[in-house]
Structure 1
């Protein structure tokens, strides 16, 4: 009987009712537990929901009983075509909802449905539900994770869902569907404020050794407004950390023309999606305001006045990072032109963007230290204020990091 059932399953879906003989149900249970089988629950020939595994189950399927519980705080319900899909980063399967009554039952509005008990038994088994809501808040391992952070971790790393590589990583999925985002962004119309360029040959002989810079780097939270950072120093910092040295053009038959910049810090695929926006409150030689750093021309272009309400909102959170409510001399807003990297990468591009932010932030820290400047990274920023100040669509370009830099206040 089991051999015949395997042949039938190999040919396509098989319908099994509750009165199936034990050999058949035993085989189906083993296949489902191993993650080799998708199970669809039906009532009166109507598909209600399916358990769609992506790895082996955590335990064998329990006997259907009076299942009761509450939805896990990590479960989300999203639309996929005509169905809804319940996903949970701690589960071994997705629950595909085919019938709206199931969605209503999950939300508590169809608790009396004849399938509700079976549904909740399956939700508990798959980890989409928990017997007691307190279980996810009383245990530190689950209480410490915010749902969006656990989802981000699961969805942007290789694991149960990403082992096939079919739709993960640098697939260039948009090639032939959408044009690539150019390497050079649309420039702001203000006249360029040219920045001085450092003498790299001289620096190669006189710069502070890396080991000394690494050991002396600190986060600076007090700045000397009586002796602010200068245009020459800001120019050197940006030149050494963020300028575009060149842009190579790669053209292969059958693929879109690709522009690959080169900058001092590394970037996955040589894509370089990050842009730098200096917000200047107090710098010797540069009027106050929010600027965009033109990394090709090594120049600043005014984006908004310093007293623009959106710029004020951008600056305000820095007072929580600095000591005594200070405001930064210069705050470098790091933004990502997300389409540059999302055109080529699937599922994990935003995680890569944040890694690039870390690399650039470290470069700014070490270079500022070598120059005798102070700096401190800020763990958050006002994304809405950035969009308002720049006029950029947040889905096109968004604030992903902040670094404050200036002249350290002398210590007593």
Structure 2
């Protein structure tokens, strides 16, 4: 490691250093490390780091014992290291786990930024992240952003020694890679950057070992009001829906095992016998109605529905898009799960509604359009008000359990159903007029009266 005044050291965020005569303890729960037999120069260096970032010379790095200690602590991930060009900060390596050994510096294929490297801004500034790295590469000098465009570090107008160090640190952090190797290996080629980044960012791991900024932190509690459980109603008179007799259904419904075993995806429907409004009402009531609402001690509204929801927030909404339903005019509706009613959102001749229906033709046999398209949206703020990092992951899990609930209910009712792996989010936003960051389309299912074609086995 180069040790000049162009290198500054600091305890990485979250680390506490407790010094005692001749020793120290580094704490970053659940990790800790005891340092014994320290020289006076080493003890003083730790005391200086406790006061804040310091350059190598301020830490008395001309002392071999301090140099050894800095190498040891940086190699174990206790220190973040900022590289400077004179008095100008270039970048900081901020570790969140133990670094691997530095790769060899021998000649090899030219490396560029890995396809998994993500550049974004957070409260501390610009940062390069790689989902599988041990550190963040925090950018302080905009010249380094040229790396994203494929510039070689030697083209940044920096001294050759600094350019070499940038290249070495990027490689050490895993931010650069041989593009040919990434494309030829199935494992790396099969993952996309957003998928891998999302996976790592929404799960516990080396980056996240405590619950300080992860999970149900209720981070917005003292700054923003929680979004109400009941979505504001669309204008227009509600269409009241009939409620099924749940007591009778308990006696007559097929057994759970039968429903699970009989569940299939249906891609062919009988338009001569379309699904009826009564059947749609029963499906919605059994699968997605709001059964009750509890209020927590801090005033949060927690609905109860037939399917589970993390934290009881129930952010999902249902939008039936009707092409042909007996007893209900074509168009796009919103299901008010609190009132068990439908409200018109957009007419059938709306360009957005037509687009939503057309996107289903890739799913159905012979490019047919559905009798009924059931869109699932998320009022994301209901989840994001409390959850950090895992909010969108939780939303997708909720979509999965709602889809299975709809599948099983439709199967018990002898309706045909198939889930889609995609939908037209832009058309949904155009039809509803909703701000996509407030409410976004996250799922899509097709329902109707099954046709004569054999159903698939998925």
TM bracket, shorter-chain basis: over 0.9
TM-score after normalising by structure 1: 0.93
Out of 214, 224, 239, the position equivalent to 2:270 is 224
Q: 1:3-14, aligned counterparts within 5 Å?
A: 3=39, 4-12=41-49, 13-14=53-54
Counterparts in 2 of 1:85 and 1:339: CA distance versus 1, 3 Å:
same
Which shows bigger deviation, 161-170 or 204-213?
161-170
Preserved contact between residue 55 and residue 93 of structure 1 (Cα < 8 Å): yes
Q: 1:269-284, aligned counterparts within 5 Å?
A: 269-284=311-326
Q: 1:159-308, aligned counterparts within 5 Å?
A: 159-252=205-298, 257-308=299-350
- In the other structure, the counterpart of 1:129 is 176
2: CA distance, partners of 1:88 / 1:136: 14
Counterparts in 2 of 1:64 and 1:95: CA distance versus 1, 3 Å:
farther
Cα deviation for residue 251 of structure 1 reads 3.0
Cα deviation for residue 6 of structure 1 reads 4.9
Counterparts in 2 of 1:275 and 1:410: CA distance versus 1, 3 Å:
same
Counterparts in 2 of 1:139 and 1:22: CA distance versus 1, 3 Å:
farther
TM-score after normalising by structure 2: 0.84
2: CA distance, partners of 1:364 / 1:50: 50
Cα deviation for residue 102 of structure 1 reads 2.5
Which shows bigger deviation, 10-19 or 92-101?
10-19
Out of 103, 114, 122, the position equivalent to 1:72 is 114
Out of 405, 409, 412, the position equivalent to 2:451 is 409
| DSSP 3-state at the match of 1:163 | coil
Instruction: Give a deviation string over 1:255-314, Cα, whole Å, max 9, x none.
Output: xx2111110101111100000000010111111110000111111111011110001111
Preserved contact between residue 67 and residue 119 of structure 1 (Cα < 8 Å): no
1: CA distance, partners of 2:302 / 2:276: 32
Counterparts in 2 of 1:82 and 1:296: CA distance versus 1, 3 Å:
closer
Preserved contact between residue 61 and residue 67 of structure 2 (Cα < 8 Å): no
Cα deviation for residue 9 of structure 1 reads 3.0
| DSSP 3-state at the match of 2:179 | coil
Preserved contact between residue 45 and residue 66 of structure 2 (Cα < 8 Å): no
| DSSP 3-state at the match of 1:404 | strand
Instruction: Give a deviation string over 1:71-123, Cα, whole Å, max 9, x none.
Output: 11111222345742111102110011112223335541734421221101110
Number of aligned pairs? 407
Cα deviation for residue 390 of structure 1 reads 0.5
| DSSP 3-state at the match of 1:38 | strand
2: CA distance, partners of 1:298 / 1:81: 43
- In the other structure, the counterpart of 1:16 is 56
- In the other structure, the counterpart of 1:326 is 368
| DSSP 3-state at the match of 1:91 | coil
1: CA distance, partners of 2:171 / 2:109: 8
1: CA distance, partners of 2:67 / 2:102: 12
1: CA distance, partners of 2:274 / 2:338: 26
Cα deviation for residue 61 of structure 1 reads 6.9
